Structure 1
Amino acid sequence: MILKNLPVFLNMENKKVLVVGGGNAALIKIKKLIDFDCDVTVISNDFLIDILEFKNIKIIKKDFEEKDIEGFFLVVAAAESNVNKFVYECAKNKNIFCSVSGGDIKGDFIFPAHKKNDRLTVALSTDGAYPALAKKLCSKIDVSLGDRINFFEEKRKFVIKNVSDKNLKKKILSEIIDDDVIYSENYIEKTENILKRYFYE
């Protein structure tokens, strides 16, 4: 069955996320969550040293209980399959979205392969069919162009502020993000030449 996952970017800053598990599956998810400034709590009886070395997460050494799920925005089940099943059922009863690592339970959301810099985030998924392939394809995407976003954001605001005609505005904005412009080493000069043609000639 092909999953119908909706691609959504959530603002996760300071959102409370519970991770159940202390092994490699949990470690992978924790790294991703920390990257997006989540407030992470991890529950398990045993932890990898790498997990214990994180300074900005809460570690609780115990067996998971249903009451542990209270107050969390998202839950990640990354333990043994029987524990994951119990965690998922608890989350479902509380209407909390839960991601499940491995096993037959698909969970409510997945962690796609992603790359990011300060201004650009790209995510890619095979809907669980071949995660390693998604990771490989994502690795080939160049996010270095994100460094140019501040420049193009400034020019976009300029055009929006100074052009009232809807069709002309769309035309100019399309020209300045043409492949020949955004991928060029001389993207600044080419963009300025386009704007000069419309505003200064």
Structure 2
Amino acid sequence: MGYSVILQVRGRRAVVVGGGKVAARKIRGLLEAGADVVMIAPKAEPELQALAAAGTIGWCIKTFAPGDLDGAFLVIAATNDRGVNEAVAQAAAPGQLVNVVDDPERCDFHVPAVVRRGPLTIAVSTEGASPAVARRIRRELEEQYGEEYGPYLEFLQRARDIVLREVDDVEGRKRLFRALAADSFRQNGRWDEELAGLLAKEKERGEERRGENDEDSNIHC
């Protein structure tokens, strides 16, 4: 069983060997994560040709050679030739993370099926046992966690900063965070309005507590 992580690849060099449909799928995911993608392939899918023409990815129009991996943080062998994929795996230097699409045993990591909704990332992996099952589960999750989760999570990021800035009481913060995370709050849709109301109530609680503390202090004087 592997150790699940979210790998930060923004700005890092990712070399994808292959230009077919599988390579295209891997490249789309890398671009979403902000990687600096270089494709090694003598020919490529029209989608990938367009990305290269736009300067979104680099394209070395050639067959693979070991030197193509120089400087790579992450390497994906995604050709339909097992011999080429094995050559890529063997050429990788220590410390380079390698994924061979047709050979799970040769992989340092497996690429999960991913649902992205703004800041929300849900990853499903069978560790290479059945990508088809992982894709089916991903489709089910896409239906369960719709597009509204993107703006909702972005709102929660803003709301967290506001709560931390305006509410000093630790228990009060916890109450607010629980309320904001509730399905009923998300489904309401009037998030900013509801947050303002919750903050006002929490401030009222704080004033009441301070008043009670002042009374207790007067009693002991």
What range is the shorter-chain TM-score in? 0.7 to 0.9
**Equivalent residue for 1:6?**
4
Distance change >3 Å, CA 132–CA 104, structure 1 → 2: closer
Where structure 1 has 5 or more consecutive residues not aligned to the other structure, the ranges are none
Query: What CA deviation, in whole Å up to 9, does each residue of 1:49-90 have, x standing for no partner?
Result: 332221221111222122221111111111121111121122
Contact 2:167/2:203 (<8 A) preserved:
no
Does residue 44 (structure 1) correspond to residue 41 (structure 2)? The answer is: yes
The 3 A distance-change label for structure 1 pair 82 and 59 is same
TM-score (norm. length: structure 2): 0.78
The Cα offsets for residues 165-188 of structure 1, whole Å up to 9 and x where unpaired, read as 323322322222122212333444
CA distance in 1, matches of 2:162, 2:49: 48
Matches within 5 A, 1:105-124: 105-124=105-124
**CA 1:72–1:9 in structure 2 vs 1: closer, same or farther (change >3 Å)?**
closer
Q: Does the residue aligned with 1:170 lie in a helix, a strand or coil?
A: helix
Give the distance between the partners of 1:26 and 1:136, measured in 2 at CA: 20
1:180 is matched with 184
Aligned pairs (5 A) from 1:99-110 = 99-110=99-110
Q: 1:190 Cα shift? A: 3.6
Cα gap change, 1:150/1:46 in structure 2, threshold over 3 Å: closer, same or farther? closer
1:191 aligns with 2:195: yes
How far apart are 1:104 and its partner, in Å? 5.0
Structure 2 CA distance for aligned equivalents of residues 163 and 117 of structure 1 = 28
In the alignment, structure 2 segments of 5+ residues that lack a partner are: 206-221
Residue 44 of structure 2 aligns with an amino acid whose one-letter code is F
What is the alpha-carbon distance in structure 2 between the residues aligned to residue 119 and residue 103 of structure 1?
Answer: 31
What CA RMSD, in Å, does the superposition of the two structures yield over aligned residues?
Answer: 2.2
Q: Could you tell me how far apart the structure 1 residues matched to 2:153 and 2:135 are?
A: 24
- Inter-CA distance 119–107: structure 2 relative to 1 (3 Å threshold): same
Q: Provide the aligned length of Structure 1 versus Structure 2.
A: 197
Q: Which of the residues 123, 146, 158 maps onto 1:142? A: 146
Higher share of residues assigned helix: 2
Cα displacement (A) at 1:98: 0.7
Residue type matched to 2:20 in 1?
G
Q: Give the distance between the partners of 1:9 and 1:67, measured in 2 at CA.
A: 24
Is residue 2:44 matched to residue 1:57?
no
Cα distance in structure 1, aligned partners of 2:69 and 2:127:
26
State the Cα distance separating 1:163 from its structure 2 match. Answer: 2.8
